[in-house]
Chains A and B, each alone.
Chain A
Amino acid sequence: ILNVEQSPQSLHVQEGDSTNFTCSFPSSNFYALHWYRWETAKSPEALFVMTLNGDEKKKGRISATLNTKEGYSYLYIKGSQPEDSATYLCALILTGGGNKLTFGTGTQLKVEL
């Protein structure tokens, strides 16, 4: 069984705080890591696709880093806003795994005023 773990499970922060979450995965046979943002009653929205060790990607106030050798990725949100409240999912694709995504259980973020 492939284990993709996310921590923390949930997080409450104040508006303006910066925050980060972790996605851990087995380092062998790595192909790609996807980050998704999932708001209630909406479709998961793709944030980043990370493929190279040391990759750092940024989209507005959100950024992500990747360490394939030690098997983790961090997602950072700078200056959190209430609209950032969502569940953030990471999903792993292994070499030879086709397009099969193996998801973590997600980090539920709530940004309060």
Chain B
Amino acid sequence: GAVVSQHPSWVICKSGTSVKIECRSLDFQATTMFWYRQFPKQSLMLMATSNEGSKATYEQGVEKDKFLINHASLTLSTLTVTSAHPEDSSFYICSAKSVEDGQYFGPGTRLTVL
């Protein structure tokens, strides 16, 4: 089956630093990748849709200058949380869309900002 990896699986950082999370489709090409965020006791919320070679489309209320998304190849998208603050602490998870229209998820990244 289609496999999506995410790195790192968890990260702890100091307030004000930037953190980059990678999402890779390991055995298929993904023209579209999605980034979600989940706060405790809440549902997965879509942050942005990323298409290879073009700018990401952000959902309402998600700051594009804070959450930088790069989708430079058909197998890699990165999310950079810039100048992270404690309120950015969350679970970030990506998914990648295959040409067969399935959407496959990575295992997620737990970010804790001190």
Interface residue ranges, A against B (CB under 8 Å)? 4, 34, 36, 41-44, 46, 89, 91, 98-106
Contact = CB atoms under 8 A, between A and B. Distances in A.
Contacts of B105: 36, 43-44
A89 B43 CA distance: 9
A99 B32 contact: yes
A42 B95 CA distance: 13
Contacts, number: 44
Interface stretch (B12-20, B62-70, B74-82, B96-104): B96-104
B104 A105 contact: no
- Determine chain B's interface SS by DSSP, over half rule: strand
Given A99-B32, A99-B34, A100-B49, A43 B43 contact: no
A41 B110 CA distance: 10
B107 interface: yes
B32 A4 contact: no
A102 B104 CA distance: 15
Contacts of B49: 98-100
Contact of B103 (A41, A46, A106): A46
